[in-house]
């Protein structure tokens, strides 16, 4: 299993993971696949927007973390926001979400950001207790 930045060939398989993410959400959403693909590509290539990390197991994408760049006025440095973390149901409870989040914190550190922030819905019973 590896956690890595998304590449061009990841965008198509990521669309089904994103569909699964929204399908499992308490607020379901049907995505516009072409708009989402364009957004994922931009997120993947534009560090001023954020970053896109994927979890891969046996050459199959099984999870992702969508990260957005923000700003911390106290430190006058960028801040990385963990916006979405998703692991496909059959791959859960093996620490993949935790590894995605740890990779996000490491990315923020590598980029010299003030830090990395995240929050989750209280109704998300599968959320990590800590990273």
Domain CATH for 13: 3.40.630.30
What's the whole-number mean pLDDT along residues 54-76?
96
pLDDT at 124: 56
**Is the pLDDT score of 54 beyond 60?**
yes
The string of pLDDT tens digits covering residues 12-35 is 999 999 998 888 777 778 889 999
pLDDT at 77: 97
The C-alpha angle with vertex 21 and arms to 84 and 83, in degrees rounded to 5, equals 10
Say if 127 falls within a structural domain.
Answer: no
- Mapping DSSP onto H, E and C, the string for 97-124 reads HHHHHHHHHHHHHHCCCCEEEECCCCCC
pLDDT at 29: 80
Say if 131 falls within a structural domain.
Answer: no
Yes or no: say if 83 and 28 are a contact pair by the CB < 8 Å rule. no
H-assigned helices in the chain: 11-24, 33-45, 96-110
Share the mean pLDDT of the chain. 90
φ/ψ of 57, rounded to 5, equals -135, 125
Yes or no: say if 84 and 64 are a contact pair by the CB < 8 Å rule. yes
How many structural domains does the chain have?
1
- What residues have CB less than 8 Å from 71, skipping those under 6 apart? 77, 78, 79
Say if 9 falls within a structural domain.
Answer: yes
Parent domain of 45: 2-118
């Amino acid at each position: 299993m590896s956690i890595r930045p998304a590449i061009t060939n990841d965008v198509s398989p990521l669309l089904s993971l994103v569909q699964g993410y929204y399908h499992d959400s308490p607020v379901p959403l049907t995505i516009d696949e072409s708009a989402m693909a364009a957004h994922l590509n931009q997120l993947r290539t534009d560090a001023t927007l954020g970053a896109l990390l994927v979890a891969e197991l046996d050459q199959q994408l099984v999870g992702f973390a969508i990260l957005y760049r923000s700003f911390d006025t106290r430190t006058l440095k960028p801040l990385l926001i963990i916006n979405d973390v998703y692991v496909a149901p059959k791959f859960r409870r093996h620490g993949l979400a935790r590894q995605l989040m740890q990779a996000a914190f490491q990315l923020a550190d590598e980029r010299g950001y003030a830090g990395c922030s995240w929050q989750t819905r209280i109704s998300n019973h599968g959320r990590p207790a800590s990273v």
